[in-house]
Structure 1
Amino acid sequence: MRHEKVDVIFQAAVQVFAESGFDQAKMDDIAQAAGVAKGTIYYHFKSKEELFVGLMNEGMKRLIDCARRSIAVHDSPAEQLKALLHAHVHFFIQNEKLAKLVLNEAFGTKERQQQFRAKIREYLNLIQEILQKGMETGEFQLEHPQETASAVFGAASVVVLQKIYSLEQYGTQASVEAKIPAMIDSLQRVFFSGLTNHKT
């Protein structure tokens, strides 16, 4: 079982990295936010880099677990894709700061992202499996499941991120959550109009 202090450190790191960015974030600030000594962080993570990668991987792991739980109750690939979109939007809305970090890093180019991108690939593979299953059952009509999986991830992520930023100045968590049905409906209409010959 992972040490409970790691969760506390992760929560603090999300806050500091989201506010300051990786380069400007300081381990002292993370330690202060976590209410632990800086040495405690270094006991679990050798460097800021390792902490950041661990945080990103943990965030993606939680998203993947959330998506898997959501699709597990459905047999139809179409229903599984709907469930995944629903889980994706809800997860990132409920974890706004983590969403910003994950999505900024997903489209970045730095070397520290190599391990994190492996976790992104795991999520894309999950989406691709749903799409390929839908192709086999005849529910989906597409020629490039790998590229389509990336499109699903990208579109769903940008829709959420745009909404978070647009409401950041004057909105509340409740006002963002109120937009969830519209975001999910828009994503489903975009993808299912292209994947199938019938309306959702």
Structure 2
Amino acid sequence: MRHEKVDMIFQAAVEVFAERGFDQAKMDDIAQVAGVAKGTIYYHFKSKEELFAGLINEGIEKLIECAGRHMDNDEEPVAKLQNLIKAHVYFFIHHAKLAKLLLNEAFGTKERQRHFRWKIREYIELIEKVLIEGKEKGQFNINHTLETASAIFGAASVIVLQKLYHMEDRKVAEMEKELPAMLETLHLLVLKGLANVTDL
């Protein structure tokens, strides 16, 4: 069982990293927000880089878990993909600071980029699995499943990120009102696109 102070540190780290960015964030600030001694953070994480990597792991694992919960194994691939995209948008709305952190800081140092790409690959492979299933069943007309999965991740992420910045400091309930428009856009862009790719 994970130590409860790790959860407190992660929550504080999201706040501080999201507000100040990786380079400007200090372990002292994270310790203060978490209400723990700085030594407690270093007991669990050797460096700020390691803490950030742990945070990335945590965030993407939660995203994968959320997507998995929304997909029924008995569903057809089209429904699975639709529910995965809905879960993706819903997750980012409900974890706005984490979403901004994941997408903004993913393009930092080479080390952070490498770690992000390695971890996000797990999620993209989940999307790709649905695409392959749909392709095999003749529901998706698609040639490059990995590239398409990456594009779906990018489209779903950016549409939410733009909305988060546009509606900065709005409550989750207000953001949820924007869900139908975002999902309709992604549905037309992704699901209709996959079904009608030969018409282009």
In structure 1, give the amino acid aligned to 2:162: Q
Q: How many residues were matched structurally?
A: 197
Q: CA deviation at 1:180?
A: 1.1
In structure 2, give the amino acid aligned to 1:177: E
Q: CA deviation at 1:175?
A: 1.7
Q: How does 1:15-94 map to 2 (within 5 A)?
A: 15-94=15-94
Mapped partners of 1:135, 1:113: distance in 2 = 31
Identity across matched positions, percent: 63
Q: CA deviation at 1:141?
A: 0.5
Mapped partners of 2:59, 2:192: distance in 1 = 31
Name the TM-score, length of structure 1 as normaliser: 0.94
In structure 2, give the amino acid aligned to 1:51: L
Structure 1 contact 74–80 (Cα < 8 Å) conserved? no
Q: CA deviation at 1:73?
A: 5.0
Match of 2:157 in 1: 157
Change (3 A) 1:168 1:74: farther
Structure 2 contact 16–25 (Cα < 8 Å) conserved? yes
Match of 1:195 in 2: 194
Secondary structure of 2:111's aligned partner: coil
Mapped partners of 2:165, 2:62: distance in 1 = 22
1:3 aligns with 2:3: yes
1:184 aligns with 2:167: no
Name the TM-score, length of structure 2 as normaliser: 0.94
In structure 1, give the amino acid aligned to 2:114: Q
Mapped partners of 1:107, 1:32: distance in 2 = 27
Match of 1:136 in 2: 136
How big is each residue's C-alpha offset from its partner over 1:123-170, in whole Å with a ceiling of 9 and x where there is no partner? Answer: 11111110011000011001111111011000000000000000116x
Which of 1 and 2 has higher RCO (CA within 8 Å, sep 6+)? 2
Match of 1:168 in 2: 168
Change (3 A) 1:105 1:74: farther
Q: How does 1:86-125 map to 2 (within 5 A)?
A: 86-108=86-108, 110-125=110-125
Mapped partners of 2:119, 2:46: distance in 1 = 21
In structure 2, give the amino acid aligned to 1:182: A
Q: CA deviation at 1:109?
A: 5.2
Mapped partners of 1:108, 1:173: distance in 2 = 28
Q: CA deviation at 1:108?
A: 4.4
Q: CA deviation at 1:48?
A: 0.6
In structure 2, give the amino acid aligned to 1:146: L
How big is each residue's C-alpha offset from its partner over 1:89-133, in whole Å with a ceiling of 9 and x where there is no partner? Answer: 000000000000111133445213322321100011111110011
Stretches of structure 1 that go unaligned for 5 or more consecutive residues are: none
Structure 2 contact 107–113 (Cα < 8 Å) conserved? no
Mapped partners of 1:106, 1:82: distance in 2 = 26
Structure 1 contact 77–133 (Cα < 8 Å) conserved? yes
Q: CA deviation at 1:196?
A: 1.0
